[in-house]
Structure 1
Amino acid sequence: MPEFKSRHRVLRTILALGALCASWQSASATPDPVTVTTKGAVQGVARDGVVEYLGIPYAAPPIGDLRWKPPEEHALWTGTRNATSFGPACAQVMLLGVFAGPANTNEDCLYLNVIAPRDTQAGGEKLPVLFWIHGGGFVDGAGSDYDASKLAARGKVVVVSINYRLSLLGFFAHPALNKEGHLVANYGLLDQQLAMRWVKDNIANFGGDPDNITVAGQSAGGASVAFNVISPLTKGLFHKAIIQSSASYLTAIPLEVAEKKATAFAEAAGCGSGEDEATASCLRNLPADALMKLSGPAEGFGPYVVTPVADGQIVPGGGASAIESGSFNHMPIMNGSTRDEGNFFAAIPVYYSGKAVTEADVESYVKAIFGGNAGAGGTPPSYPTGTVDKIFAHYPSSDYKNPQLRMNAIQTDVMVCRIQHATHLLAGKVPLYAYEFRDRTAPFMFPELPEFSALAYHTADLQYLFPGFHGGDQGIRHELNPEQQTLSDALVDAWANFARTGNPNRPGESIWPQFTSDPNAQSYLAQDIPRLSTISDNDFTTDHKCDFWKNLLVYN
């Protein structure tokens, strides 16, 4: 009997402790956070030191009569909207290998995501905002591909990622539409700009500072940043810019080229060659799946697709002339590239074919790109006679272990030297910080490819800012090793510092020098393991043969 009483007392003690523990857990558990926007309340979710509000609509669905029109504000909603899962990605077919996907025909896709440090929700000092624009050649990608939790939690910034209209739905300049009296052609850029206005109006409620917004992006996202820097429509909407791995904004597609492609698309789609209201109606009534089928296959751009267009209002003209003349929104800018940009693009045909790069592939690429016109969208002027032979002479096959490395060198240097040209144009006009990501051990998002070395490929740096980045659903996620994690920490700190102050260095440090107009004091931050360092502009020029390319590349 005494033993029974003793056991009973122990059981009662355990139950009491369990009840106390349950009571404490209930009292300390963080309820699902709710924040009010100008359109209604949204309920997010807390995880891993951050609060996420996912899939918030920032515009009315651009469907029906709103297809190929500037985005309109979303209607008010009643009650509290669930914001715990991403909105659908925008319609896309071409996937750039494993970079994006899955393919879809979603037109109702204008959603954004807000990721904030968990401790901002109780109020206090407003944090800097990093507004992220995804890449993907203006034809694919989604904000949901990027895990911004490390930037938010470690960097103490509020991150906003967005979707915007892509491919033929985002960049389309048919004359019948252009006569309707609204802004035209660059609907994807207009989406980005409406999302920026949403941030200005709402981000304070999420802990962000509407007067300290940095717009950042990579590849087509970086070009988007630059086009928004030169757009007169964004004046005052943001305060700093980060342009990663892009120089395509130096030129813009001429409006007449975009109109010809759109007219050819209308004929192929069965809407005829007219420029009247009936043609516009026919285009808007095309089924989304039929429209996207004409945008091209998964492995290549279709004949009707254009990238941002020099429409004269959203994009006044090419970025090179705008920067050179000073006709842009002046602000601190970070601009950079990866050591082996071209390797990503060299990997895409290998991924689809399963065959290693050959010397014939290298020759076909050079002849296709440099044997014709040099202007935007394949417009004049043409490359000088003998350009192809000069390129082969500067990149002899005997200098490379295999054709893939030769292809990488050519494609990389073309892109990187264009980025250097943009850096030179910006130098002295704004506070400027230049970099080169050089970690050639970076994990590769593609599956194993025949006779292929990944190196510091285009997009390789994204996984250092966004943990586990691997592109679309077919990409391979990798964890970073300890040395790479150290580099990741340094890059996240630099991006957050820049968002906070316009200077990527910590207070009192000068690891990353400002890129000035003084040719004797121009250097880049070399982002590599085991440590950060700097490289001079002269060494950068030598590494990428930019003295050769500057006499060939066309920017106007």
Structure 2
Amino acid sequence: MPELRSRMFGMALTIGTLLGAWQGAAAAPDLITATTKGPVQGVARNEVVEYLGIPYAAPPVGDLRWRPPKEHTPWTATRDATSFGPACAQVTLLGVFAGPANNNEDCLYLNVIAPKDVSSSKERLPVLFWIHGGGFVDGAGSDYDASKLAAQGKVVVVTINYRLSLLGFFGHPALNKEGHLFANYGLLDQQSALHWVKDNIANFGGDPDNITVAGQSAGGASAAFNVISPLTKDMFHKTIIQSSASWLAATPMEVAEKKATAFANAAGCGQEDDEATAACLRKLPVDTLMKMSGPPEAFGPYVVTPVADGQIVPSGGASAIESGNFNRMPIMNGSTRDEGNFFAAIPVYHSGKAITEADVEGYVKTVFGGNAGAGGTPPSYPVGTVDKILAQYPSGDYLSPQLRMNAIQSDVMVCRIQHGTHLLAGKVPLYVYEFRDRTAPFMFPKLPDFVPLAYHTADLQYLFPGFRGGDKGVRHELNSQQLQLSDQLVAAWTNFAKTGDPNGEGVTVWPQYTGEPNARTYLAQDIPELSTLSDDVFTADHKCSFWKNLLVYN
């Protein structure tokens, strides 16, 4: 029966892919495959076949709000899978990164994108399981066009939605006492989607025994938290962590409970931790939750990111890696050269005002690039530290306050990411990179006195054609040199998904990072060609020796 099902699926793919380009894409009556819950009908587009908006869990609404995801009820009639499911509820959009804002609680859907010729492969294809970023407060799997990764790289790509903001990460004591896994509902969603992939992906041409979990920013942190979660042991086999160091620490449980209790009180549910409070919280209108989760331009006071709950996330990543309590596998870890520039752009986008020297000083004094205390509490460091930081980046060295802000904010982020690299070195097969194309198209509209450079998220459009964030982002086409770099990155990512080594056809210069003095090498992803740089050069470029003893890691 498995062989017959595989042949039938291959015939469906072959027929379906004759339907043409995106504009002419249409569902074919016979482009149907089975899942454990019922059959789904996909759509052919260019070089891929897509199955969109497949539910991987029951809608987490009503009494299922703030509970681990439950199995979806089966269906018998063929389910249409030709359009994306709704994005999860979100309001804080990180400038143009996500959106539009919405109140959708029924949002646990995933998408499968397979090359059209998957049926011609003698073996099932590697699976790239992509987790979107967005600070754990926004984003959606539908923002990412995975067709190039699937068609050119010959992998099956899965993109997912997961609960966000207060609906996804919420540690109220009344809920925590109910006897189920708690606080990290968004991570539990990701793990539920992984279970779906293990059970179903073979029907779509994918190999359930060769799964790579990848993500960028909060998606990269999610990938890393799943590496350290005991609940995912043997669920996947390789990891790609793009532009994230927030996994090094997790929100302490006491901070999560304090914020959730303050939210419940502000929402009119009182300060108790009993069943009545839990029932009140679950009856709150979703629009109330989203209004209290924060404005579009900032995180709200009650929001937390993944929590050290002791079961899903036993500890922060730094502690887990140092102690060896994590799932060993090949890992790719990297950053962009100007990570901080994306975050510097957000207030400029909302205010329409250029960055000033006062803004630079304010950042160092109050924000410190994710270096704040537990759960977003104010940073704490010795008297005189602010002056030392500003002296390291004298205003006269930069053509504008924005470029000075970029240097400080980027170095804070990048040096924390480097710390993660140093922790991982020698413990797993490790490949490290820096994306350095400072000509990368900018998905924000034109901003006053702003130079984008190789900003956080800039590399996404090289993997996912036309990536522009949310509906307010600006889509750009890559030029010929950028397209060549895109081809190289797609080859590296998919080579890694296949074998755990990014080298192969299209990429042959990426050395493994072992931590030994002569093997601490980064791949420099730039135009006109790929190259390498040493850990020492990377450290000097980002002043990491200065930051080493100032940054909070766990």
Sort the TM-score into its range (normalised by shorter chain). over 0.9
| Counterpart Cα distance in 2 of 1:207 and 1:299 | 41
One-letter amino acid matched to 2:231: L
- The aligned counterpart of 2:278 is 280
Q: Which whole-Å CA distance do the structure 2 matches of 1:54 and 1:456 have between them?
A: 31
- The alpha carbon displacement at 1:123 in A equals 6.8
Pairing of 1:280-299 with structure 2 (within 5 A): 280-299=278-297
Report SS of the residue matched to 1:94: coil
The alignment partner of 2:364 has SS state of helix
Alpha-carbon distance in structure 2 between the residues aligned to 1:205 and 1:235: 23
Corresponding residue for 1:494?
492
CA deviations 1:179-211 (Å, max 9, x no partner) are: 000001000000000000000000000000000
Q: Distance in 2 between matches of 1:445 and 1:379?
A: 31
Matched, 1:540 2:534: no
Deviation readout 1:249-299 (Å, 9 max, x if unpaired): 100000000000000000111111111100000000000001100000000
Residue 434 of structure 1 aligns to a residue whose secondary structure is strand
Q: How far apart are 1:232 and its partner, in Å? A: 0.3
Q: Distance in 2 between matches of 1:73 and 1:395?
A: 53
The answer to whether structure 1 residue 181 and structure 2 residue 185 are counterparts is no
Q: How many residues are paired up?
A: 532
**Could you say if the C-alpha distance between residues 356 and 152 of structure 1 is closer, same or farther in structure 2, counting changes exceeding 3 Å?**
same
Alignment of 1:408-427 (within 5 A): 408-427=406-425
Preserved CA contact (<8 Å) 1:374 1:553: no
Amino acid at match of 1:110: L
RMSD: 1.8
Match for residue 302 of structure 2? 304
Give the 3-state SS of the residue equivalent to 2:375 in structure 1.
coil
Partner residue of 1:150?
A: 148
Deviations 1:325-352 (A, max 9, x none): 1110000000000000000000000000
Aligned to 2:196: 198
Alpha carbons 1:373, 1:382 under 8 Å: kept: no
Which amino acid is 2:235 matched to? Answer: L
After superposition, residues 189-338 of structure 1 pair within 5 angstroms as 189-338=187-336
Counterparts of 2:462 and 2:205, CA distance in 1: 25
Deviation of 1:519 after TM superposition, in Å, equals: 2.2
Bigger Rg, which one: 1
The CA deviation at 1:122 is 6.2
In 1, are the aligned partners of 2:250 and 2:307 still within 8 Å (CA)? yes
CA 1:251/1:84 → structure 2, altered by over 3 Å: closer, same or farther?
same
Aligned pairs for 1:383-402 within 5 A: 383-402=381-400
For the residues of structure 2 that align with 1:424 and 1:372, how far apart are their CA atoms? 19
Query: Is 2:85 aligned against 1:96?
Result: no
SS at match of 1:290: helix
Aligned to 1:18: none
Q: Which amino acid aligns with 1:311?
A: D
Paired residues for 1:114-193 under 5 Å: 114-121=112-119, 124-193=122-191
SS, match of residue 307 in structure 1: coil
The answer to whether the 8 A contact 1:222-1:245 is kept is: yes
- Normalising by structure 1, we get a TM-score of 0.93
Kindly indicate whether the alpha-carbon contact (under 8 Å) linking 1:32 and 1:46 is maintained by their aligned counterparts in 2.
Answer: no
Which of 463, 466, 483 is the equivalent residue of 1:465?
A: 463
Residue in 2 that maps onto 1:554: 552
1:33 alignment partner, SS class: strand
- Cα distance in 1 for partners of 2:506, 2:84 equals 39
1:359 to 332, 357, 360: 357
Between stretches 198-207 and 507-516, larger displacement belongs to 507-516
Q: Deviations over 1:455-497 (max 9, x none)?
A: 0000000000000000000000000000000000000000000
Distance in structure 1 (CA, Å) of the matches to 2:262 and 2:17: 64
Do the aligned residues in 2 keep the contact of 1:372 with 1:383 (CA within 8 Å)?
no
The answer to whether the 8 Å contact 2:369/2:409 transfers is no
**Deviation digits for residues 380-433 of structure 1 (CA, Å, limit 9, x no counterpart):** 983122111110110111111000000001110000000000000000000000
Gaps of 5+ in 1: 1-24
CA distance in 2, matches of 1:157, 1:207: 9
* TM-score scaled by length of structure 2: 0.94
